[in-house]
Amino acid sequence: ILSFRDLLPRVRLFSQTFFLWYFALGTFWIGAGLGGIFHLVEGMFSGSPGGIPGASYSVRAVEGGALLTLFFLVLAVSARFLPPRLIRIDLAFEGLDPRLEGTTILHLSDLHVGAWQGEGRLQTIADVVRRISPDILAVTGDVIDHREDEAQIFERIFSSLSGKLGTVAVLGNHEYWSLEKEACAVMRRHGLPVLKNESLLLEKENGGQIRVVGVDDPAGGDYAPDCGPDLEKALAEIRPGEFVLALVHQPTLWEGDLCRAAQLTLAGHTHGGQIGGHPPLPSLASLFFRHPVGLFSSTDPQCPGHRLNVSAGLGYYGIPVRIGMLPEMTLVTLCSKAEVAGKGKNKKTREGGFSPSKKEESFLFFNNPQCFSPL
């Protein structure tokens, strides 16, 4: 709490050390408990008095705590020095306009410029975005963490970046918590092209069109009557036959009308819990969210084949730790079902995509490109 208040200087090293100390303390006691349990079980099966608490019990507990703490700290610290993981996904949609085939959408979420993200780290993320050069750059909120001056840092590093067709964004709860009712105006002033319950029509040179819908975050409803989600207003300009890309911060907004209106929805907010893995692996976020992280298909019979992608994001909140759930960005490529049938599932990187060097490839994790079709 002290680290995030204005009462103390916001020194990044202090904040990280402060939280890592409590993280290490927690993992030590978990490891100590496991070490002690192992000692008791060992004594029971060996038939020796080794299971009786004593000096050897304490040694086992300390060993267990030290090993678990060291293991998790190595994972957590190493995750901060690796480039962000890039996940490539090809998504097939029934009746996709052929002129939209091959369109790339780079999804960024939860940068949390602030206590945990130094400018060097942010510049690494910006460099990756620049080399990928997507058609659309989509940002789904929580760009800043706590203060308006963090928006200035974002502007300095990211405002020059744009997709070939444009950059689109929505606000997250942290923008509202930090800037309250002025959140939208401030972020737009600092270079974030926010869509607030409105839509924008993006057109390719070949005439293909994508309707991008931005839905405001529920946190905005606490600060002004014109803030917060308004689906009726956000979806008002959609026309029949348009491919609709929806941006939200919280994946809970995907239910109902938005799911039926948008073929593809991008969200963030959950961080994947920062600890765990993508489905089918468990994560902390799966304890709290129906759609915790990764790609989901609609089960609504009115909108078969509509998808939601929930990004684990690029930043940190609460503790500067990610274990298993590494910082990530997602590159989505649109394709038709006919294209999938003709080329098969495994496809090479498309022209204009990000082709890493050997050194970069050793750090960046690429999923095998897959085309997901409705079951």
Task: For 133-145, write each residue's pLDDT tens digit.
Answer: 999 999 999 999 8
Domain with CATH 3.60.21 in the chain: 83-340
pLDDT of residue 161: 92
**Banded model confidence at residue 364, pLDDT cuts 50, 70, 90:** very low
**pLDDT(49) > 70:** no
**Banded model confidence at residue 150, pLDDT cuts 50, 70, 90:** very high
Measured distance CA(59)–CA(253) in Å, rounded: 51
Name which of 29-33, 204-208, 299-303 the model is least confident about. 29-33
Work out the average pLDDT over 184-211.
96
Phi, psi of 31 (to 5 degrees): -65, -35
Read off the pLDDT of residues 237-247 as tens digits, 9 standing for 90 and up.
999 999 999 99
Chain mean position to CA 284: 14
pLDDT of residue 77: 76
Read off the pLDDT of residues 52-98 as tens digits, 9 standing for 90 and up.
444 576 777 787 788 877 888 788 777 777 888 999 999 999 889 99
Amino acid letter for position 201 = L
* 96, 295 Cβ separation under 8 angstroms: no
Q: What are the C-alpha distances in Å from 160 to residues 56, 170, 214?
A: 61, 18, 21
**Banded model confidence at residue 222, pLDDT cuts 50, 70, 90:** very high
pLDDT of residue 171: 97
**pLDDT(366) > 50:** no
Helix (H) or strand (E) holding 56: helix 55-81
pLDDT of residue 7: 44
pLDDT of residue 43: 66
Read off the pLDDT of residues 259-269 as tens digits, 9 standing for 90 and up.
999 999 999 99
What class has domain 83-340?
alpha beta
Name which of 20-24, 236-240, 352-356 the model is least confident about. 352-356
pTM, entire model: 0.80
- Residue 260, token pair as written in the block: 């039926």
Q: What are the C-alpha distances in Å from 182 to residues 139, 185, 279?
A: 19, 5, 37
Strands 209-214 and 198-203: antiparallel
More confident residue, 56 or 370: 56
* 255, 306 Cβ separation under 8 angstroms: no
pLDDT of residue 166: 95
pLDDT of residue 293: 96
3 state SS of 244: strand
Averaged pLDDT score across all residues of the chain: 82
Number of neighbouring beta carbons within 10 Å of residue 79: 19
Q: Which of 218, 194, 211 is nearest to 264 (CA)?
A: 211
